[in-house]
Amino acid sequence: MTDADGGRVRLDDVLGGQWTVLHTGESPAGAHNWTAIGVPTLRINEPTLVDWLRRKKAAAVVLRPDGFIYAAAKSGQPLTPPPAGCIFTASTRTEATA
């Protein structure tokens, strides 16, 4: 990816091992469910990532801390809400079950 200064950085370094919503275009419907519990959203414009999402017919994905995709949504479709009973702490942004 390209950072704000134009330098190249790894996506894993940007995500920092936390839950993250990645999307192209406008913030997807349902993203507010994730941001309300402290999960950041990141609009991507990196051609490789945008092309990959298009091939998968997705406009948004929710990434787990381990880098696997938890949920995906097509353009105009809402994201799957967070798993019930999960709390995301502001300090660690890791999943904790109640």
**Would 36 be classed as within a structural domain?**
yes
Measured in whole angstroms, the distance separating CA 62 from the mean position of its chain's CA atoms is 4
Is 53 in a helix, a strand, or coil?
Answer: helix
**Would 57 be classed as within a structural domain?**
yes
**Would 4 be classed as within a structural domain?**
no
Q: How confident is the model at residue 35 (pLDDT cuts 50, 70, 90)?
A: very high
Cα separation, 61 vs 84, whole angstroms: 18
Residue 96 in this model has a pLDDT that exceeds 80: no
Q: How confident is the model at residue 87 (pLDDT cuts 50, 70, 90)?
A: low
**Would 2 be classed as within a structural domain?**
no
Q: What is the DSSP letter of 23?
A: E
**Would 76 be classed as within a structural domain?**
yes
In the chain, the amino acid numbered 66 is D
Is the distance from CB of 79 to CB of 62 less than 8 angstroms? yes
Residue 85 in this model has a pLDDT that exceeds 80: no
Cα separation, 65 vs 11, whole angstroms: 12
**Would 6 be classed as within a structural domain?**
no
Q: For the chain, what is the domain count?
A: 1
The residue whose two tokens read 């950072």 is: 3
Q: Note down the domain range covering 90.
A: 11-97
**Would 3 be classed as within a structural domain?**
no
**Would 5 be classed as within a structural domain?**
no
